[in-house]
Amino acid sequence: MSKQSIFGRIAQLAKANINALLDSAEDPKKLLDQMVRDYSNNIAEAETAIAQTIGNLRMMQEDYAEDVQAAQEWGQKALAASAKADEYRTAGKTADADKFDNLAKVALQRQLSSENEAKQAAPSIASQTDVVDRLKTGLTQMKGKLVELQSKRNELVARQKSAQAQSSVNDAIKSIDIMDPTSEISRFEDKVRREEARVLGQQELSASSLDAQFDSLVDMGEQTEIELRLAALKSGKPQGELGG
């Protein structure tokens, strides 16, 4: 399994124009949450695929190790059989010597077959090892990107809430500007001033009425004096005695 086949869908998501998606989304928070879920699911899928790739590599490595070990064992058997054939040949037992030489040849053939299998597997093991290393690195990077995506999601959601709160404050301020409560207070103040003016007017009227009453008392005093003096004249009493 290639790295591209595992990370193909994730790469498409990473290349998406997130800003454009957010601009067109009715609810950016839901879109961000969906992106986090999708990315998390893709990581889980990648982990499963990578685990399978690693499992296949380990099986290849086990088979390779078995072939190498088998080649060594068959080599030892060939050596033992060849030594036994030489021993029989020295003893003049040609038939037994030929038998063990044939066994040595069979062991050498098995050794060669195991070595060839190991040689054929080596390039594939090296290639798969490189693939697994790159997949592990890619998976680590993906997990780092997921952390960044989650952090960015939280930041954008917080900024959206802050903007909405500020918008509410601005709307409230606009409402205050449109319906200014101080205008009602001003009208009440005018009413109070008119009432105060009315009271002042009443006070002035009251003061004017009191002055008129005092003036009438003065006039009455003078009239009384005049009447007394007139009576004195009529009685023939001198005016100078009136003061006594």
Q: Please give the helix or strand (H or E) that residue 152 lies within, else none.
A: helix 94-178
Find all residues with CB under 8 Å of 178, minimum gap 6, and list them.
Answer: none
Residue 132 half-sphere exposure toward CB, CA atoms < 13 A: 15
pLDDT category at 151 given cuts 50, 70, 90 is confident
Q: Dihedral through CA 213, CA 216, CA 217, CA 222, nearest 10?
A: 170
Provide the pLDDT for residue 114. 94
Provide the pLDDT for residue 81. 93
Provide the pLDDT for residue 221. 66
pLDDT in tens, 102-139: 999 999 999 999 999 999 999 999 999 999 999 999 89
Amino acid at 62: E
Provide the pLDDT for residue 215. 66
173 versus 168: which is more confidently predicted?
Answer: 168
Mean pLDDT of the chain: 80
Provide the pLDDT for residue 145. 87
Rounded to an integer, the average pLDDT of 210-222 is 65
pLDDT in tens, 162-172: 887 887 777 76
Instruction: Decide: 150 and 36 in contact? Cβ < 8 Å.
Output: yes
> Could you state, in order of their start, the residue ranges of all structural domains in the chain?
3-179, 187-241
Percent of the chain with pLDDT over 90: 36
Residue 72 half-sphere exposure toward CB, CA atoms < 13 A: 5
pLDDT in tens, 5-60: 555 555 555 555 455 555 555 677 787 888 888 888 888 988 998 999 999 999 99
Rounded to an integer, the average pLDDT of 202-208 is 71
Phi, psi of 173 (to 5 degrees): -65, -40
